Structure 1
Amino acid sequence: MSTSRAPPVFLLVLLPFFASTAFISSVNGAAHMTPETSAICPTCPYFLPTPREVTTPEGIPANLTCGVRLLADRKVSWIRRKDLHVLTTGDFTYTTANKFRALHLPGSPYWSLQVEKPTVDDSGIYECQVSTQPKIFRRFTLNVVVPSAAITGTREMFMKAGSDINITCIVKGAIRGAPVTWYHVLPRPPYTEEEVEEINAGGRGGVQVVTDKHAGTSWLLVTHATWRDAGNYTCAPVHATPATVSVHVLDEEVPAGLHHDLHPSEGRSSITSPPCSTLLTVLLLVLQRVAAVNEHGHWCSFCLLLGITSCLSLTAVYTAAGETWTAAQDLSSTWSVWRL
């Protein structure tokens, strides 16, 4: 007659400890199923591998997905860590904010927290928690970014007529694969309405747009540029802030109506400097004669100072317009005449 032997007492004591390791302590909140833990606690829930970090553009819905096996009658809750606010439990949404919603298909081990129209303030840590004892949880990071485009180089480009225009646009934070559209604001005479055209291969020959949607980079190439290719070029990705560069095409004869816009420096060449030195000279000669016969010489000095101030102000205005006349030259000439 055979008798079964009872297990050692120390194994009975340590068995609850081994079973609890299936959950991993709430310090790290991660429950991973391994052959050892599966043998010790075959009914313990555990997390499935899912993406732990999600990045989305502002305004585009984002889903945080938590996978849990062997859930049984336990509940899955989503908690926002920054204020410990319980957002959802099971299929029920606790928050009054309409942007948060629980997503789950019956029989599926995946429980998702959907964030509709997220803003930058929604960025942070979200916790998927299972109602075990002790609780197990897994944390997820949501990054909400404001997509934007940036054109490499300066905001103004000066090109020689006949050369090639090459513009590079880098898109940051946009959805991978989002299309990029280029626009061209044509050069127009002053005080006329702007004309905007979408750039595509069907336009004039020599224009090419290449976009690497995976890298988020778009290139615009315009060969043999003419004055008609001048103007503003805008890189406009979907759901992103656009970027603009101004292109000037130089050294080519252009229509008279556009001459002022394309070559603004030439429009000021006809401005002449006021004959400030001549005016001061005449004024000083007159005041010198009056002072010789008038005992109120201080009034003459006051008038002289007033005349110099007025002339300096006039000279400063023309200097701002691009002329090279300076007040120092006027005063130097005036002082020479006064000493005579």
Structure 2
Amino acid sequence: MRLDLRSIVEILLVLSWQIPSGSSAWGSSWTNSPPEDANELDQDYANAITPDPGSLVGEVEAELLPQDSAAYFVTLNNSQVTVQVGSTAALRCQVYDVAEHSTISWIRHRDHHLITVGTTTYSNDERFQVIHSAEAQDWTLQVRFAQPRDAGVYECQVSAHPPLGQLTTLVVMEAVADINGPIERLVQTGSPVHLVCTISQLHEPPTYVFWYHGDHMVNYDNTNRIKVTHGSARSELHISSVNSGDSGNYTCMPSNAQPASIHLQVITGETPAAMQRASATEMQRCISLALMSSLLALMAL
């Protein structure tokens, strides 16, 4: 019968309890009394059958055991990055003294989605990538063509012991364009037209602002009747003298904001003021007829 190490140790301990002190051979002086210091014996027994865990691994394995990390973040925790819809967001994560076996990961908190590990992207969304600078020890998460759905909390995490994490909140702003004045315009042939488009909730100036008449862009009109000027958060369309062909929808479309539209109706003949006077006169006539009819009805009673 083959005995394992534990069985052999147990047998030797039992025998050592029963052999009298000082006896050098098996004799008839057996004793069933326990040793004077049972606790010490139990500890010796435990040491005999439970070796030091460090002795079970080689030099390489010992280096991989969890160690307290000396890594620390240089960038601030709970920071906020604000970008405009369609622009590129850069979420910085600068970490010093990262151990060789540690990795840097980016995680989206909303759905606990693992986006990157090291410089490898695990997201199916190709807009996400890590820009790594070994010299600066920086792992910046880049989000191209940012959309409102990208807003939320992201965590840069170091695989250390204990784990280290840093949070960054991404805010994606959606600017809105608006053309000053009513959405329906009535103008006389030959009159000038001045449309002003302002952009609100703007975090950064637009790359461009295009003006459209219907589906035709008029920014680069070569008739010299139309002129477009720009400011940081506004764009203006000037038409020196409108004609019937200028009727239709006009749209202000910034590169990073929701567009705005108005409808322009060019009329010939009577001026708008004359039309308004005619309408007022007609209304007064109708009121007079109604009053006269009521008076005649009362007189007939």
TM score, norm. by length of structure 1 = 0.51
CA distance in 1, matches of 2:120, 2:289: 78
Correspondence for 1:286: none
Tell me the alpha carbon deviations over residues 312-334 of structure 1, each in whole angstroms, 9 at most, x when there is no partner. Answer: xxxxxxx9xx9547767545433
Shift of 1:163: 5.0
Q: Residue deviations 1:1-57, cap 9 Å, x none?
A: xxxxxxxxxxxxxxxxxxxxxxxxxxxxxxxxxxxxxxxxxx644425898513131
Structure 2 counterparts to residues 240-255 of structure 1, below 5 A: 240-248=257-265, 253=269
May I ask how many residue pairs the two structures share in their alignment?
Answer: 224
Secondary structure of the residue aligned to 1:66 is coil
Stretches of structure 2 lacking an aligned partner (at least 5 in a row)? 1-69
Report the AA paired with residue 255 of structure 2.
V
Please say if residues 57 and 174 of structure 1, whose CA atoms lie closer than 8 Å, have aligned partners that are also in contact.
no
Give the aligned partner of residue 218 of structure 2.
Answer: 199
* Matched residue, 2:109: 81
Structure 1: which 5+ runs fail to align? 1-42, 186-195, 273-318
Q: Residue 65 in 1 paired to residue 65 in 2?
A: no
Provide closer, same or farther for how the CA distance between residues 264 and 61 of structure 1 changes in structure 2, counting only shifts above 3 A.
Answer: farther
- Report deviation, 1:209: 0.7
> Is residue 88–residue 146 contact of structure 2 (8 Å, CA) maintained in 1?
yes
Alignment partner for residue 125 of structure 2, among 98, 112, 131? Answer: 98
Q: What one-letter code is carried by the residue in structure 1 that aligns with 2:252? A: C
SS in 2 for 1:121: helix
* Residue type at the aligned position of 1:218: S
Give the Å deviation of 1:179.
Answer: 1.4
| Partner residue in 2 for 1:37 | none
Aligned match of 1:145 in 173, 181, 196? 173
Instruction: Find out whether 1:336 has 2:299 as its counterpart.
Output: yes
**Structure 1 match to 2:10:** none
Paired with 1:331 and 1:128, the residues of 2 have a C-alpha distance of 82
Measure, in 2, the Cα distance between the counterparts of 1:324 and 1:331. 11
CA contact (8 A) 1:174 1:240 kept: no
The residue correspondences of 1:85-234 to structure 2 (distance < 5 A) are: 85-93=113-121, 98=125, 101-105=128-132, 107=134, 109-115=137-143, 118-159=146-187, 164-172=192-200, 173=202, 176-185=205-214, 196-212=215-231, 215-226=232-243, 228-234=245-251
CA contact (8 A) 1:99 1:117 kept: no
1:300-339 paired onto structure 2 within 5 Å: 324=287, 330-337=293-300, 339=301
Q: Percent identity?
A: 26
| Deviation per residue, 1:269-313 (Å, 9 max, x gap) | 8xx9xxxxxxxxxxxxxxxxxxxxxxxxxxxxxxxxxxxxxxxxx
What CA distance in whole angstroms lies between the structure 1 residues aligned with 2:273 and 2:245? Answer: 14
TM-score (normalised: structure 2)? 0.56
Q: Distance in 2 between matches of 1:110 and 1:264?
A: 70
Does structure 1 retain, via aligned residues, the 8 Å contact 2:108–2:115? Answer: yes
**More contact order relative to length (CA 8 Å, sep ≥ 6):** 2
Instruction: Let me know the Cα RMSD of the aligned residues.
Output: 4.3
**Is 1:47 matched with 2:74?**
yes
